[in-house]
Amino acid sequence: MQGVAPGGIDCDLHPALPGTAALMPYLDPYWREQITVRGIDGLDLASFPPKIPANGRADWRPQHGKPGADFERLRHDALDGFGLRAAICNPLYGVQAVYNRHFATALATAMNDWMVAEWLDRDPRLRASVVIAPQDPAAAAAEIERRAADPRFVQVLLLAMGEAPLGRQEYWPIYAAATRHRMPIGVHAGSTARHATTGNGWPSYYLEDYVAHAQAFQAQLLNLIHEGVFAKFPDLRVVLIESGFTWVPNFMWRANKTWRGVRAEVPWVDRPPADLIREHVRFTLQPADAPPDPADLARAIDQIGSDDVLLFSTDYPHWQFDGTDAYPAGFPAALRQRVAVDNPLATYPRLRETLA
Ligand code: ZN
């Protein structure tokens, strides 16, 4: 096994919520009763069916329960197994897909309380993203404010496919709060199923849904740039998590070419989109959509035109890479330390300060 560079930071780790019942201690009596009498459970996102192979590497999958739900296993397999200095937890549960915005907000708060009590307090290496319900942007901003007092929350978590494109002004209170507290916005793969997961409607197979995520990330990136989010929030960083990254050079070329022709439409985009991406956007490493020839992977990274944009991730316990090597085959040796240590520290100021 090829380990992560010394002092490595995992920017995408997935503790799993066993089920809605695990949130009961963190909900008020009204929602506890609602969950009980209505029999609400199983809010897992359809993007991540717990039993598909990709949702748990075979040797990380417990005999019972969901991969990632057991703290001791996560500590053994991921924190100790990869020799990590720190890891950012991104809990995926269908909070963002709930239609009742008040319930969604209550669930988000409970998820964050659960994260503190059952994960962060048990290992000093763990950090977390703030779970919010973007269905109610004002309440989401308030949740960011509440968590900002705890330096172990280092990022705000959103999904790649939601109600509306993420650049829309209705979401700007979220970006204002995140920027105020120097938290990047982490956009993780996943759909709330508000809309079809492809531009042509619903696909027939999970496989299509999975592959189509790259299109969703591209659409969000275009929207964030052209709605003017980076002009309004010059300090904002966006981390695309589980987006892949070898599509980025081609995307940059198309975005730049079209911007040159019709930028009069969006005068607040005062630089080529590729420059904005290099400055504001980061990409986690796994799953690496790497070509089979290692030389091609190095070329794709070179074409992005920056050594700053990739962040090491294991995506534990998800099964995204062949074998047990922490880096994709052929990943340039010269970049290993940079993506595992330097880039995460530069991207997450709150993480940097708590490790200092
Ligand atoms: Zn992930």
For residues 262 and 251, give the distance between their C-alpha atoms in angstroms, rounded to a whole number.
Answer: 17
DSSP code at position 164: S
What is the residue type of 13? L
Helix (H, G, I), strand (E, B) or coil at 144: helix
Q: First vs last Cα of the chain: how many Å apart?
A: 29
Return the closest-CA partner of residue 197 out of 90, 45, 40, 92.
Answer: 45
CA of 54 to the centre of ligand 1 (A): 11
Q: What is the pLDDT of residue 46?
A: 83
CA of 315 to the centre of ligand 1 (A): 5
For residues 288 and 308, give the distance between their C-alpha atoms in angstroms, rounded to a whole number.
Answer: 16
CA of 53 to the centre of ligand 1 (A): 14
Contact 144, 178 (CB under 8 A): yes
CA of 242 to the centre of ligand 1 (A): 5
Structure tokens that stand for 114 in this block: 């659960």
CA of 15 to the centre of ligand 1 (A): 10
For residues 320 and 56, give the distance between their C-alpha atoms in angstroms, rounded to a whole number.
Answer: 9
For residues 68 and 88, give the distance between their C-alpha atoms in angstroms, rounded to a whole number.
Answer: 14
Statement: residue 50 has pLDDT above 80? no
Residue pLDDT, tens place only, 263-308:
999 999 999 999 999 999 999 999 888 888 888 999 999 999 999 9
CA of 48 to the centre of ligand 1 (A): 10
Statement: residue 1 has pLDDT above 70? no
Q: What is the pLDDT of residue 251?
A: 97
CA of 13 to the centre of ligand 1 (A): 6
Specify the length of the chain in residues: 356
For residues 103 and 108, give the distance between their C-alpha atoms in angstroms, rounded to a whole number.
Answer: 9
Is the backbone of residue 330 left (phi > 0), alpha (psi -120 to 50) or beta? left
Q: What is the pLDDT of residue 191?
A: 94
CA of 353 to the centre of ligand 1 (A): 24
**Dihedrals phi, psi of 201, to nearest 5 degrees:** 110, -170
Q: What is the pLDDT of residue 320?
A: 75
Q: What is the pLDDT averaged over residues 244-258?
A: 97
Question: Which of 14-28, 154-168, 314-328 has the lowest average pLDDT?
Answer: 314-328
Q: Where are the beta strands (DSSP E) in the chain?
A: 9-13, 86-89, 126-131, 153-161, 185-191, 238-241, 281-284, 310-311
Return the closest-CA partner of residue 15 out of 105, 81, 84, 75.
Answer: 75
Average pLDDT of the chain? 94
Q: What is the pLDDT of residue 85?
A: 97
Residue pLDDT, tens place only, 130-187:
999 999 999 999 999 999 999 999 999 999 999 999 999 999 999 999 999 999 999 9
Ordered structural domains, the chain, with CATH: 9-355 (3.20.20.140)
Statement: residue 14 has pLDDT above 70? yes
Judging by beta carbons within 10 Å of its beta carbon (0-12, 13-18, 19+), is residue 148 exposed, middle or buried?
middle
Residue pLDDT, tens place only, 94-125:
999 999 999 999 999 999 999 999 999 999 99
Statement: residue 2 has pLDDT above 90? no
Q: Give counts: helices (H), strands (E), the chain.
A: 14, 8
pTM summary value = 0.97
